[in-house]
Structure 1
């Protein structure tokens, strides 16, 4: 499985924080039913790794990956959980070395041309652009496209349903990461039908400008 295929599976990758383990399986099902095939589960809660296992079991057709992979501990935990892919908010030498020890697709994060160049030189052609809005948004990505045309991005951070089409219209963007379809109140109320509707809305976000 390539990171390209995973990222191309839908225009939006939901960035999921699991606070209650019982929500993991139905939430994964709702997002997948809405058309979002790749789910990034952030390792920000103690139950995140267990949630990954439950989501993979509940929706085996989905790509269930881990986010906030920042060190060897989170990397090894992701591998042990059977993550389909891993995402890092940034990069360091340790993560680059670890990524080369496994076949699990790895999406490292970059926010500057120097970081993009460093990762491209290591063979990474697909990168997470984070934090997207704070790091310059679409203007930054347009600027990077000129000197570094062979790198493709999944921008994440501050993107909304309204701004997602602006990113997806760029030739160097394959998809975006977002949280707007993960309404906390809806999840708390276990309104999975509403979550599915938001996922479907995200899946149908306008790409026609590209």
Structure 2
């Protein structure tokens, strides 16, 4: 998958569950639940030891699921993500070492930014997509609208503080390719095995995305 293909895939799904796996055993039922809800994507964060094997499990058991690696902070984690089968990398900030290593390894990377300086760094490397993070804490839509205005060709993946309540407003922006959300499959829901609740959350996100596309 190249960066343009990733951007197209994210524009189709519109919402990305951002997931911190408590244990690798949660990966398989999570993938089944998301696919059953019509949301074939997940970003698995490297915030727990389960991330690497969780990504590998999702890729092996659910090949139709688009799987990314999140919270990637260094070159070693990039390599672990690629070895596990991740199809894209997401970082909370713009670390040139991480971004350049991803480009060298030919895996799409979505670095985090919350300023025009970050967007400029992405433009300089030919990236078509950046993560706007932490979206709500940084200024929400007001900052996004102002920051995106000079960069007509840049797409954004807002993440951080998004909920079903503000998701429609973010998705209404043409510069937003998709939005990341932790509420869909939170660590607490996974730890309790609440896959029915995760499925409801995922279906609700799909409904919001569908409504935004037709409004």
TM over 0.5: yes
Aligned ranges 1:166-177 → 2 under 5 Å: 166-177=169-180
For 1:163 and 1:115, the matched residues in 2 are separated by 24
What is the deviation of 1:103? 2.6
For 2:159 and 2:9, the matched residues in 1 are separated by 16
Which residue does 2:117 correspond to in 1?
A: 114
1:121-160 CA deviation, whole Å, 9 max, x = no partner? 1101211100000111111111023211211101000100
Relative to total residues, which structure has the larger helix share, 1 or 2?
Answer: 2
| Range 154-163 or range 196-205, more displaced | 196-205
Which residue does 2:100 correspond to in 1?
A: 97
Which residue does 1:28 correspond to in 2?
A: 31
Which residue does 2:212 correspond to in 1?
A: 207
1:68-117 CA deviation, whole Å, 9 max, x = no partner? 11111111101111111110111122112212212322111111011111
Structure-2 change in CA distance of 1:97 and 1:46 (3 Å): same
Match of 1:81 among 58, 80, 84: 84
CA contact (8 A) 2:44 2:68 kept: yes
Supply the RMSD in Å over aligned alpha carbons.
1.6
Q: What's the secondary structure of 1:127's corresponding residue?
A: strand
For 2:87 and 2:99, the matched residues in 1 are separated by 17
Which residue does 1:131 correspond to in 2?
A: 134
Given the two structures, how large is their TM-score scaled by the length of structure 1? Answer: 0.94
Structure-2 change in CA distance of 1:140 and 1:209 (3 Å): farther
- Whether 2:145 is the aligned partner of 1:150: answer no
For 2:173 and 2:33, the matched residues in 1 are separated by 28
For 2:120 and 2:186, the matched residues in 1 are separated by 36
What is the deviation of 1:187? 2.6
For 2:26 and 2:134, the matched residues in 1 are separated by 27
Given the two structures, how large is their TM-score scaled by the length of structure 2? Answer: 0.92
For 2:134 and 2:34, the matched residues in 1 are separated by 23
What is the deviation of 1:209? 7.7
CA contact (8 A) 2:89 2:107 kept: yes
What is the deviation of 1:6? 2.8
Structure-2 change in CA distance of 1:209 and 1:162 (3 Å): farther
